[in-house]
Structure 1
């Protein structure tokens, strides 16, 4: 199994909010189970996303808003999804798929690759661990069925 570190609230949206596409700039050959690790960084762009807001409110059990950093878990594996496809952006995968974005406030537009995610299986309790860039091998933990 591999793992992917994702900033909050995007990691929450993958596990609980119906986010089926993760936008990246690197193409991977790996397909299979993928642990979703919530990194230690918070994405203001994610917190401002209408998609995240709609998912948050339709989830219904939260008294916080997606912009409240304290509403999220950081530095832990939240669950497992199946990575079923990776392909360059081609006007597909809406609404979560993006066509390009400027990374971390820079001016250079990066080519987007869509990671297609299915079957989210949240852990009963987040598994604290350090993350890494790119795909990485997580420590052993019990994978939900």
Structure 2
């Protein structure tokens, strides 16, 4: 398997997201991730936290989206491009059925799922993936070009 030539330096971050929300992103349905603060645009490794929001499994929108998909936890499972980050004005309609009022909305695009999850630790805040973790992920996406 060939390895993509990737840029050097500080160009990618990791983002940890609880299940089942991460699986909704990988399925292509959830294009907005809610966060308490602003994030910069750019590439992120998608990491699943070790916990599952069990109450969310009863939400019909989520149930339909994740049907027959495995809820991997504690691993990097993909990569995505944050194309924007905004808050919807108070009283205005939300930008997505996935958006929460008052949260910062990270708008995700070009989501690519890894064929094999990579066990890893993450954080709620943006975190810097190790070079080894980046290499292991991008070996699974040989056509990836940032």
Aligned pairs, number: 122
- Deviation beyond 4 Å, 4+ runs, structure 1: none
Contact 1:3–1:35 (Cα < 8 Å) also in 2: yes
TM-score by length of 1: 0.77
Q: CA deviation at 1:15?
A: 1.0
Instruction: Select the structure that is richer in strand.
Output: 1
Contact 1:35–1:77 (Cα < 8 Å) also in 2: yes
Structure 1, unpaired ranges of 5+: 65-70, 100-110
Contact 2:49–2:74 (Cα < 8 Å) also in 1: yes
Paired with 2:126 and 2:50, the residues of 1 have a C-alpha distance of 16
Q: Does 1:47 align with 2:54?
A: no
TM-score by length of 2: 0.76
Larger CA Rg, structure 1 vs 2: 2
Contact 2:48–2:74 (Cα < 8 Å) also in 1: yes
Partner of 2:32 in structure 1?
21
What value does the CA root-mean-square deviation take over the aligned residues?
A: 1.6
Structure 2, unpaired ranges of 5+: 1-11
- Please list, as runs of the form range in 1=range in 2, the aligned pairs for 1:1-145 lying within 5 A after superposition: 1-28=12-39, 30-57=40-67, 62=68, 71-90=70-89, 91-99=93-101, 111-139=102-130, 140-141=134-135, 142-143=137-138, 144=141, 145=144
